């Protein structure tokens, strides 16, 4: 059976009010009407304050995600939101290690490991962002950086836990810049990660782990950054603010997965 194709919308800290969240939802509902996605899993990660509104909207085509999490279960952690709390409001996926959290929130590989473990403990799926900076890329540091990020987070995880994680390869220089790596660069990363996972686990696990691409994704470029590079989906930032674009991406991906002649 073919793997699902993931389209993750990261709404970041946009959508500044409840009213706009409701507007987004009603536009989404209108755009998605009449579409049925069998092979595409669409996940939207709104600011957590609007998670309930998204859940109550009951959009059949969409799963609910969160953009971040605190690693402890409960306690005196002002401002923290635990994985259990996220699960309680209907969240199924949690982004961990996004480069903006690494940059502005001080997330280190060790913190990201703790967050990933916390998410897995609640039986939710982490969407683990990894990626190199422009400086690291300039000195051929991409693959060593990815290896370090992956090995820190996957240390001690069982095969079953490992397979629950969606890896989002997001080169930091490609986020919000309209620059994207070539298909062959992405493919090289995919082949490399498969080797890393074969070493950590085995070929079967390496084959089954879902890897998606993120950074300046648009509907026009979706084939080149995902299935042409043998990846299983995309993580979309700015363009996910337009429900029309998300639905268009899902439609393109859905058509691509239809068997010949169907
Ligand atoms: P972008 O963001 O699509 O706006 O480049 C991607 C991301 O931050 O995940």
Closest atom of ligand 1 to 175 CA is 5
Show the low-confidence residues of the chain (pLDDT under 70).
1-2, 257-262
Contact predicate 54/22, CB 8 Å: no
Give the residues across from 94 on adjacent strands.
66, 126
Q: Where are the beta strands (DSSP E) in 61-138?
A: 62-66, 93-96, 125-130
Query: 237 CB under 6 A from ligand 1?
Result: yes
Percent of the chain with pLDDT over 70: 97
Entry field: residues in the chain: 262
Contact predicate 67/98, CB 8 Å: yes
Residue with token string 């969407």? 127
Ligand 1 centroid from CA 41, angstroms: 18
Closest atom of ligand 1 to 177 CA is 5
pLDDT of residue 81: 98
Mutation pick for ligand 1 pocket among 94, 171, 176, 222 (CB with most ligand atoms within 8 Å): 176
pLDDT of residue 172: 97
Exposure letters 174-196 (e unless 16+ CB within 10 A, then b): bbeeeebbebeebeebbebbbeb
For residue range 107-137, list pLDDT tens digits in order: 999 999 999 999 999 999 999 999 999 999 9
Kindly report the number of other CB atoms within 10 A of residue 18's CB atom. Answer: 12
pLDDT of residue 2: 63
Half-sphere exposure of 2 (CA within 13 A, CB side): 18
pLDDT of residue 58: 84
Annotated active-site positions, please?
Answer: 98, 170
Residue with token string 């709404």? 11
pLDDT of residue 223: 96
pLDDT of residue 3: 75
């Amino acid at each position: 059976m073919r793997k699902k194709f993931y389209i993750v919308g990261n709404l970041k800290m946009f959508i500044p009010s409840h009213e706009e969240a409701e507007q987004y939802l009603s536009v989404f509902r209108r755009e998605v009407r009449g579409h049925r996605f069998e092979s595409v899993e669409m996940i939207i990660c709104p600011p957590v304050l609007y998670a309930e509104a998204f859940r109550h909207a009951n959009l059949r085509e969409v799963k609910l995600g969160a953009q971040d999490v605190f690693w402890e279960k409960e306690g005196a952690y002002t401002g923290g939101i635990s994985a259990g709390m996220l699960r309680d409001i209907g969240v199924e996926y949690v982004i961990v290690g996004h480069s903006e959290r690494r940059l502005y929130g001080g997330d280190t590989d060790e913190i990201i490991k703790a967050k990933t473990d916390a998410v897995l403990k609640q039986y939710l799926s982490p969407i683990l962002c990894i990626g190199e900076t422009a400086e690291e890329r300039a000195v051929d540091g991409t693959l060593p950086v990815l290896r370090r990020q992956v090995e820190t987070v996957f240390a001690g995880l069982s095969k079953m836990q490992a397979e629950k994680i969606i890896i989002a390869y997001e080169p930091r220089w490609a986020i919000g810049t309209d620059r994207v790596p070539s298909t062959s660069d992405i493919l090289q990363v995919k082949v490399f990660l498969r080797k890393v996972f074969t070493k950590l686990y085995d070929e079967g696990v390496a084959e089954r782990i879902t890897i998606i691409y993120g950074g300046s994704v648009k509907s026009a470029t979706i084939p080149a950054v995902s299935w042409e590079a043998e990846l299983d989906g995309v993580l979309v930032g700015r363009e996910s603010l337009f429900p029309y674009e998300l639905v268009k991406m899902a439609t393109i991906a859905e058509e691509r997965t239809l068997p010949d002649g169907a």
